[in-house]
Amino acid sequence: MKELLECENVKLYFPSDYKMITDLDCYKDLGHYNMEIQYRIFEEMKTGKNLLTKENYQGYYRRISEIRYGM
């Protein structure tokens, strides 16, 4: 993430709702979200909601690590 955020032509976003990541019903197959979730992600990206920056990416990484490792 840190290296990608150095690139001017790259934008990274994180999901606003961690249920989107962990709830298997949000997926239509192994690698794609269902249409409802895809639309929600599109709308968030369009408005810039949940954009990762050099200033906030470490907080996101901590939160996602807590979910991953059950902290």
Segment 12-62, tens digit of pLDDT: 988 767 777 778 888 887 777 888 888 888 898 999 998 999 999 999 888
Residue position matching structure tokens 């979910």: 67
Which pLDDT score is estimated for 71? 53
pTM of the model: 0.69
Burial of residue 2 (CB within 10 Å: 0-12, 13-18, 19+) is exposed
Which pLDDT score is estimated for 6? 95
